[in-house]
Structure 1
Amino acid sequence: MEYLVTMTTRVPEGTSEREVDEVRAREAAHTRELAAQGRVLRLWRPPLGPGEWRTIGLFTADGPDDLERTLASMPLRIWRTDEPVALGRHANDPGSGTVPLAADDGEYLVTFIVRIPEGTDPQAVEDMTGREAKAAHDAAAEGRLVRLWALPGRQGRNLGLWQAPTSDVLKKVLDSLPMTVAGWLTVETVPLTRHPSDPATAQ
């Protein structure tokens, strides 16, 4: 099962720079080990304010307890709090490794919130769902949609990993989705910066 984990680190006051550097070096080395085991798939940095230290990671685990063991094994956990979100399968997900990462494109996490108007004919819903599936397939074929997940327990909410050269290009793609055009879909977009220890891009 896949999990998206927001990891927030707060280094205690008085901690020496040397100690911070040592822990970060051990974290990077252990992350490489976890990546080799297939437990850490991706790492990013979201937009950060002054003094903030956060990472978003895509992990795999056999369940919450297994994920916790992985997170607890990471050296930075002594200063870090983790917020995991379970990711469910989505019928329109291109699949891991299907869409190549574009070296020059930015990446974005996009939360999709679907609100079908009350009284909408079931056939209209089915037709729209089919059109949305085709649009997702086309976006993956164009190298824009990288992954798509359902958010279990959050009805009408899905999460996508997208890539585009600019946020304006991504907005045009998202605005053209059939459910967006129909007013059934709203999106929340978080731009990402690739983490130095990201398994998919680290050298």
Structure 2
Amino acid sequence: MLFKVEMTVKIPHDMPEEIAADIKAREKAYAQKLQAQGQWLHLWRVAGSYANVSIFDVQSNEELQEIISQLPLFPYMEISVAPLCRHPSSIHEDDR
């Protein structure tokens, strides 16, 4: 199942920089692991903001919830999720 996930990060301004840097480093490692495993297909930065648009390929809503809730930045995110399906006019034969 494919999902479009939009994430906007809102780290508190009073969070110490060393704590924020640690969270960001753990977030990057986790995101790259999921990409290598093929669950996080695409990751785009939204220009001009601390936000991204991502495409996930998972087996269920529950799996997506588990993945997202394990993101180190999850407590500081506003997240929007939309399920995706193939468009009948698409020229591609797969979802990648």
TM-score range, shorter chain: 0.7 to 0.9
Please state if 1:53 is matched with 2:50: yes
Deviation track 1:44-85 (CA, whole Å, cap 9, x = no partner) reads 01232xxx3111111111222211111011111121121011
Identity %: 27
Flag as ranges the 4+ runs of structure 1 deviating above 4 A: none
Q: Distance in 2 between matches of 1:82 and 1:22?
A: 21
Match for 1:87: what amino acid? L
Provide TM-score, normalisation by structure 1: 0.43
Give the drift of 1:33: 1.4
Q: Distance in 2 between matches of 1:36 and 1:74?
A: 16
Please state if 1:27 is matched with 2:24: no
Aligned length: 94
Counterparts of 1:25-104 in structure 2, within 5 Å, are: 25-48=25-48, 52-91=49-88, 92-94=90-92, 95-97=94-96
Give the drift of 1:89: 1.5
The aligned residue for residue 2 of structure 2 is 2
Q: Distance in 1 between matches of 2:39 and 2:4?
A: 12
The aligned residue for residue 18 of structure 2 is 18
- Cα 1:93–1:82 change in 2 (3 A) is farther
Give the drift of 1:16: 1.1
Q: Which sections of structure 1, spanning at least 5 residues, go unmatched?
A: 98-203
Indicate if the aligned counterparts of 2:86 and 2:95 stay in contact, CA closer than 8 A: no
Q: Which sections of structure 2, spanning at least 5 residues, go unmatched?
A: none
**What is the root-mean-square deviation in Å for CA atoms of aligned residues?**
1.5
Bigger-Rg structure (1/2): 1
- Cα 1:39–1:9 change in 2 (3 A) is same
Provide TM-score, normalisation by structure 2: 0.87
Q: Distance in 2 between matches of 1:8 and 1:83?
A: 9
Q: Distance in 2 between matches of 1:22 and 1:60?
A: 27
Q: Distance in 1 between matches of 2:67 and 2:91?
A: 25
